[in-house]
Structure 1
Amino acid sequence: MRVDFTKMHGLGNDFVILDGRKEALPVLDTVTAAAIADRRKGIGCDQLILLENCDQGDADFRMRIFNSDGGEVEACGNAARAVALLHGVSAKVLTDGAVISLEPTDGGATVDMGEPRFDWQSIPLDYAMDTASMPVSWGPLCNPIAVNVGNPHVIFFVGDTDAIDLGNIGLEIEHDPLFPERVNVNVATVQSKERIKLNVWERGAGLTRACGTGACATAVGAMRRGLVERKVMVELPGGALQIKWTDDNRILMSGPATESFRGSFEWSDYADGE
């Protein structure tokens, strides 16, 4: 079966998007997703995005998200902006994390990512603790804040984010038994009341140039600690995102998305895992 795809990115965080809304696609499993995402033998991407029809009344369609290791995850803010740009009009989209709202803008989108969750069971953590200042540490990183914004994040605030070897310590934290569903690791420096600098180790993908949910989680974490205002710019290696935490407890993320190219492939070339 020949399948069309669209390659897109949000601030360098790149996606292969498969649209199964008009014609149903074969079952996408972990092996196939990882093979398509492979940068040497496949098309190559940080996440593989599958769009499907759904029968949930308040959603226009469903978005499924597979990391480059083939694992399916709950949310991806950068992918949501890319899908908004591809879809072309406002929509409500079902993800495994929540129903989110997309609003395409000139060259990007604003996404209502829903409400953050702070209770330890929602992260989830392996045992109860205060998620606003967790009494744990890994090397130079200590006392993080944890938040679920559709997927789990832990955020460390440091004096200089670039001084932290996140490529080395990120994997250790991601797989720590404290996080039974693993975790995304964010290391941030508050530069002013309106700006945060951020590096992210993404669960199942590693170091990334941009992470939309990481920007949301970090901004809300900084707001919860009173470090920044309720509307900030979060600067990632790939560029900046604007994050607003509204008075009615919604997270609004705004930023660019770009279509790179379109193509097609034979499903069997990747379904075999070769």
Structure 2
Amino acid sequence: MSPLLKIRAERDQMSAIERRIADFLLDNAHLLRDYSSQQLANALGISQSSVVKFSQKLGFKGYPDLKYSIGEAVARGNGGDEGGVVAAAAEDPRTAQAEQLWQLKAQAEAETRLINPTDRIDAIASALQQAGKVYIIGLGEDGIPARAFATRLSMLGIVTVHYVDAILMQAGVSSAAPGDVLLVFSEHGRQPELCQIGRRFRERSGKVVTVTRHTPNPLRAYADASLLVSAHDGRRHIEPLLYQSALQHLLDLIYVLLCDGNEGRRRQFDLNLELMHDLLDS
């Protein structure tokens, strides 16, 4: 696993000093060979021991091992190397732009896979598979992936209760029963009304699954399980694209698990698809 990929994935859980070190390493990976731990500490205005502790927290013996590992990743081209993009730019700027965006999306998807362990993904897929009803809500832009996923679950024959309004969902969860699942889409997890819905759902012995960024947020406090998305970029118009791409890949994985794990679900999907085609052709 690339050390730069690991740094990006864990950045949101780091302290302020650790984030400063992480950002410097990510921005200067190609130049890191020229920095000793003391020089890095001086450049950031921190103690040398902070650099050493940062390296050890990532699983390395010390800073030299971390620096060597980052150098190896850059040499292999999986540490954020933009050599391919630069070469493409010489031929076609649009090709280079498209290639860079693809690389950023692939990076966000890889980081997202890293912070969602297999056992967690399997447990969430199993909960959805066995749920009596699956309640789904997302407000604003979060409503777009929520609606799409609700439609996919319905196509598999899973009873889905989907709302785009928090007030209606407040009323809807009154019919929740033990074993039901509430799937809450909220990129930043800060809407108080969603936290209230999550609390009420748990009071009815339902299971709450939150879908948010990989950051501490109030909504996750009410979750029995969390799907986390890692997507970072300094450009405000690019970061949402990375979030949407990584989120979609994560949801697609769960959907495939639901299909592959139950032949009856696949047959129901085929039947519903045929019915839809008949309606379109009539």
TM-score normalised by length of structure 2? 0.22
Higher relative contact order (CA 8 A, sep 6+): 1
Which structure carries more strand by proportion? 1
More helix per residue: 2
